[in-house]
Amino acid sequence: MFLLLIETNNKSSQGHLLLILSMTTTVNYVFGAGVLSPSTGIVLNNEMDDFSTPTENTADKLPPAPANFIEPNKRPLSSMTPIIVLKVNF
């Protein structure tokens, strides 16, 4: 999301600029899978790591969670929470 607002006051030459920039990445860990596509230059993700494996702890050393085991048509549980905080009258 990118939002740029410019407001001018007719009574003076002062203007106000509001710039909002938001980015949410889904590569999971830093640099995702650590693989860069040679044809596109896109960093590949490792989102499958968000699922639990019955016999292994997660990369964060958490025990496997049965509710988060890999199944067809299922999305992994995630703690990603994108948010934009605005401060009014700054």
Q: Where are the domains of the chain?
A: 25-76
First to last CA, the chain: 22
Q: Where are the beta strands (DSSP E) in 1-90?
A: 2-8, 15-21
Structure tokens at 72: 């067809």
Whether residue 26 is annotated as binding a ligand: the answer is yes
Whether residue 49 is annotated as binding a ligand: the answer is no
| Tens-digit pLDDT profile for residues 71-85 | 999 988 876 666 677
8 labelled catalytic: yes
The predicted model scores a pTM of 0.49
Whether residue 78 is annotated as binding a ligand: the answer is yes
Structure tokens at 46: 């490792």
Coil, strand or helix at 69:
strand
Given 8, 24, 53, 55, the catalytic residue: 8
Average model confidence (pLDDT) across the chain: 76
| Tens-digit pLDDT profile for residues 2-23 | 555 555 555 555 666 666 666 5
Report which DSSP code applies to 44: P
